Structure 1
Amino acid sequence: MNATDVATRMSAASTAALLIASAQAPLGSTLIAVALPSIGIGIGADLVLITGLLVTSYLVVNVVCQGPAGKISDLVGHSRILWTGMGLYVIGAGSGLLAQDVGLLFVSRCAMAAAGALVVPATLALMRLHVPRQRRGRIFGLFGATMGIAAAGGPALGGEIVSLFGWRAVFIANLPFLALSALLLHLYPLPAGHPQARRSLRELAQSLDGFGIGLLALSLAFLIVASKLDGPGFFAMVLAGAVAGVAFVTWEAKAAAPVFDPHLFSRPAFAAGTMMIALQNFAMYGLLYQLPQFFSVFRGAEPRDIGYMLFVMMIGMVVAAPAGGHLTDRISARSAALLGCALLLTGMVQLWHLGSFESPKDAMLALLIFGLGLGLCNAPAQASLMSAVESGQAGMAAGVSSTMRYLGGILSILVLGAVLGADTIVSVTRHEVMIWLFTIAIVLSALMSQRLLGAGNAAAESP
């Protein structure tokens, strides 16, 4: 029985359970933002320290663990890793609820970040295995919409929770969602997949490329730390991250059991899908960080107006993501992505004259169009890269795509730091240079879209 045969029996309820579980990673990432001042006051810690330990640590752990988690799920079973990740969420939530000092809060956030890194690749892999190719675009479109809603709604939900129940409740806000997901999976279990052998911890360790994982962790950690620095420290960390990254790729090419198999990038649809994700996240995260600085410094805009401006982009993403999935299934991934890239370019062109904008309202239409383009592109890119690999590598492919998503954002912050510098007041010209760099990224993404799966292309399926 192959993956497609199994897929036809997966219920809507079990699909909803997977989407709810995966949404906890972006929700947990943004939920805590508005609670940081209250946490600092509550435990008597400096806000800068709190932010570094609870936000930066979450990002580092989550990004570094994506690849190994995807590989582990291929080895021991995606459902097992999904349940393990959900259990780890509970442990992390309990630690945060009971914490009396910064140390236990740090442990809590690291546990929740690792849980998200386990759940998201496992969820993507399960969708790849249990959804037939002709419906994958729709499912991955829903996945993109769900992740967008969770990320955008996190701060608002966090604010309400802190107001009603205090900052400790933020750490257990995920638990009702996880309980619902677990209940749905219990009542409507996933179809039986291809059984994986149970492995001891020793066998599992031997099956993982520990040295490669270490190089990946070093590279990403250096780059994330660089995003917090300026001057010589910034360039030193970027150089160290680049060296570690090159060493990682070189090592993985010859490793017996690689975390990321570089040979997957020889498959056009896989390479195109992952590069599209990285390039478009480069542009998206760049705008999320750049535009608030521009309108705050040069136009004196209120934070609320800036927030509404950015929320419009998120709305576009959420609305268009299911449509992108539908077009992927009905026409082709290639055509859906090309349409999305056309919208992305249309939005970017409107931002070319950023210096003439007087308020955040002037950028809203451009960001709405840009968000619609992001939503349309997500499903075809994800569906193509996941369909380009054999079922036994679904977890690894999911880990690669998740890592590339974060890597695009990290690189965007690094480039912003290099172009705009550490000073908050820089020339308008430098801001417009960044818009041109984001436009180039979108053009490259459009070129990549032509290598996605077209109508009639056979996906790589295996029993």
Structure 2
Amino acid sequence: MTHPDQTLAASAQRTPSVRWVLASLSLSMLLSSLGTSIANVGLPALAEVFGASFQAVQWIVLAYLLAITTLIVSVGRLGDLIGRRRLLLTGIALFTLASALCGLAPSLWLLISARALQGLGAAIMMALTLAFIGETVPKERTGSAMGLLGTMSAIGTALGPSLGGVLIAGFGWQAIFLINVPLGILTFSLAWLYLPADRREPKRGGFDPVGTLLLALTLAAYSLAMTLGRGSFGVLNVALLCVAVLGTGLFVFVESTVDSPLIRLAMFRDASLSGSLATNVLVSTVMMATLVVGPFYLSRGLGLNLAVVGVVMSIGPVISALSGLPAGRVVDRFGASGMVILGLVAMAAGSIALSVLPAWFGLAGYVTAIVILTPGYQLFQAANNTVVMLDVPSEQRGVMSGLLSLSRNLGLITGASVIGAVFAFASATTDLTTAAPEAVAAGLRMTFAVAAALMVVALAIALASRGRRA
């Protein structure tokens, strides 16, 4: 007997509309990633326009990231319950409307509020985009579809700084938000026309408001603990971290007692799922290291001017964008499980290279290491996402996709704080902007030695979970 998911995916493959479905999903991923990277470049201009401090304007970025991180699992579960097409269309519309409100905001705090609303739309788009792959793409092409989404995410990240700079210079700061409006309308139109209709079948269970609130508050406390203070870890950070620990305990208790939990804790007994989420956190932590450490090493360690630093920093995202689709095809050809291992091995090799090669070959060594690390990351992402999402029952795809995205975001947030602290400690300085080249070089070596150790841990987890699965 043919499974309904397989029938739907097979019929989608036989019709041209599957390409338009993937186009709408790709644009959703592009917009949500662009929403993060394009705002960063505008912070200096926004601080000047609103007469605000950097600590105040950084909330323009933080509000967006907090909304995504705290809500992405909940909106994934909501999509499973009320229909993913309906909710994704709502998310795209919300993102588009919020982008217009950002561009028209007359004050900083209204802009920050609109960014939080935009982040809610982005959370819906991120969570449900991955979930739709199982309904529209046959299993044998899942890796390629995941690679395509990885490519679009990388393009959004790479495009943001340069596009944002051009828009601000030519049209003012409002343009970095208003550019999303026509793109959002296009995405909504494609999704409206081509996304498969929500199935009219009874949904098992209901929504878990208490668990949803607890998870959101816990994730918000952890995210703020890791991001406030810009590298310093004071009393407020410790208090927030304690709140996050307490919230985690309460969340686990509630989820083990309610009839329809937001997250079924029993699913974490699956070694494959737990291993995939854990390795995703570690991998994202290491990738954040390149963004945290790279600019300081290139500017202070090698003495490059800002224009050259920008060009070198764009190499990683460009390689990521170019390697996403090939990585997906490799996953389809050779199997997701083995490619997770190969991707982690490449990332471990790239981390070791970043720790060693720049000391020997300077800029050439740094670029060579990035060329090793980045394709490994894309291969891991395509394979790991495929492992998690391939056989997920339809009624759990939204929440599972949300968990995948959450693990990635938690890794990025943790990496920004922890890796930044490791780099500062290894550089033996309190002010990295004035550190000596030798100190920055020492910081780079130690930071990526730690990153390599994290990749070894991730590799051990992946091998262990693969062995138990076998």
Residue of structure 2 equivalent to 1:26: 33
Q: Are 2:215 and 2:248, in contact at CA under 8 Å, matched by a contact in 1?
A: no
Q: Which residue of 1 aligns with 2:454?
A: 441
- SS of the aligned residue for 1:9 comes to helix
Equivalent runs, 1:254-273 vs 2, <5 Å: 254-273=257-276
2:195 to 190, 201, 209: 190
- Give the residue type in structure 2 aligned to 1:173: I
Give the counterpart letter for 2:410 in structure 1: L
State the partner residue of 1:432.
445
1:190 aligned partner, one-letter code: L
SS in 1 for 2:450: helix
Shift of 1:228: 5.0
Displacement after TM superposition at 1:307 (Å): 2.4
Looking at structure 2, the residues matched to 302 and 234 of structure 1 have their Cα atoms a distance apart, in angstroms, of: 34
SS at match of 2:42: helix
User: Which position in structure 1 is the counterpart of 2:15?
Assistant: none
Structure-2 separation of matches of 1:297 and 1:360? 12
Q: Does 1:222 align with 2:225?
A: yes
Corresponding residue of 1:137: 143
Asked if 1:168 is matched to 2:185, the reply is: no
Q: Determine the structure 2 residue equivalent to 1:337.
A: 340
The amino acid across from 2:110 in the alignment is L
Contact kept, 8 Å, 1:384 with 1:453, in 2: the verdict is no
Aligned-pair distance for 1:232?
Answer: 4.6
Structure 1 residues 430 and 359: alpha-carbon distance in aligned structure 2, compared to 1, 3 A threshold: closer
Indicate the larger mover: 114-123 or 264-273: 264-273
- Measured against aligned partners, the alpha-carbon deviations of 1:64-98 in whole angstroms (never above 9, x if no partner) come to 11111111111111111101111111221221122
Return the match for 1:95 from 93, 96, 101: 101
**Cα–Cα, structure 1 residues 355 and 233, in superposed 2: closer, same or farther, change >3 Å?**
farther
- Cα contact 2:225–2:241 (8 A) shared by 1: yes
8 Å contact from structure 2 (residues 344, 459) kept in 1: yes
**1:236 to partner: Cα distance:** 4.5
Q: Per-residue deviation at 1:198?
A: 9.7
Aligned equivalents of 2:119, 2:348: Cα separation in 1: 33
Aligned residues: 451
1:50 equivalent to 2:53? Answer: no
Q: Report the alpha carbon displacement of residue 428 of structure 1 after superposing the two structures with TM.
A: 4.6
Q: Distance in 1 between matches of 2:219 and 2:48?
A: 36
* Residue in structure 2 matched with residue 17 of structure 1 by the alignment: 24
Cα separation, partners in 2 of 1:212 and 1:252, compared to 1, 3 Å: farther
CA contact (8 A) 2:76 2:399 kept: yes
Query: What is the Cα-based RMSD across aligned positions, in Å?
Result: 2.7
Change (3 A) 1:451 1:323: farther
Q: Deviations over 1:155-212 (max 9, x none)?
A: 111111112211111111112222222222344x22334336699xxx7565964334
TM-score, length-scaled by structure 2: 0.88
- The corresponding residue for 1:36 is 43
In the superposition, relative to structure 1, how do residues 384 and 205 fare at CA in structure 2: closer, same or farther (>3 Å)? closer
Which residue among 282, 306, 311 is the counterpart of 1:308? 311
CA pair 230-247 structure 1, distance change in 2 beyond 3 A: same
Opposite residue 27 of structure 1, the aligned amino acid is: L
Equivalent positions of 1:74-153 (< 5 A) are 74-153=80-159
How far apart, CA to CA, are the structure 1 residues paired with 2:214 and 2:208? 11
Evaluate the alpha carbon distance shift between residue 357 and residue 406 of structure 1 in structure 2; reply closer, same or farther with a 3 A threshold: farther
- Equivalence for 1:418: 421
Instruction: Report the Cα offset of residue 303 of structure 1.
Output: 2.2
Secondary structure at the counterpart of residue 194 of structure 1: coil
2:301 maps to what in 1? 298
Give the conservation status (yes or no) of the 8 Å contact 2:214–2:250.
no
- SS of equivalent to 1:80: helix
Task: Tell me the secondary structure at the aligned position of residue 307 of structure 1.
Answer: helix
CA contact (8 A) 1:295 1:359 kept: no
Moved beyond 6 Å, runs of 4+: 451-454
1:20 offset after TM fit, Å?
Answer: 0.4
How far apart, CA to CA, are the structure 2 residues paired with 1:423 and 1:244? 34
> Do the aligned partners of 1:313 and 1:367 also contact (CA within 8 Å) in 2?
yes
Which of 7, 31, 47 aligns to 2:9? It is 7
Q: Which moved more, 1:425-434 or 1:4-13?
A: 425-434
Given that 2:346 and 2:376 are in contact with CA atoms closer than 8 Å, whether structure 1 keeps it comes out as: yes
Provide the secondary structure at the position in 2 that maps to 1:281: helix
Preserved CA contact (<8 Å) 1:43 1:100: no
Preserved CA contact (<8 Å) 2:301 2:440: no
Please tell me the residue identity of whatever aligns with 1:407: L
- Percent sequence identity over aligned pairs: 24
Q: Deviations over 1:31-68 (max 9, x none)?
A: 122222222333333343112x2011111111111111
Cα pair distance change 1:43/1:240, threshold 3 Å? same
Please state how far the C-alpha of 1:240 moved relative to its aligned partner. 4.2
Question: Counterparts of 2:332 and 2:277 in 1: how far apart (Å)?
Answer: 19
Partner of 1:353: helix, strand, or coil?
helix
TM-score by length of 1: 0.89
Q: Distance in 2 between matches of 1:209 and 1:54?
A: 24
Pair 1:338–1:132, CA change in 2 (3 A): same
**Stretch moving more, 349-358 or 72-81:** 349-358
Per-residue deviation, 1:296: 2.7
Structure 2 Cα separation of the partners of residues 100 and 343 of structure 1? 48
Question: Within 1, Cα distance between the matches of 2:155 and 2:224?
Answer: 27
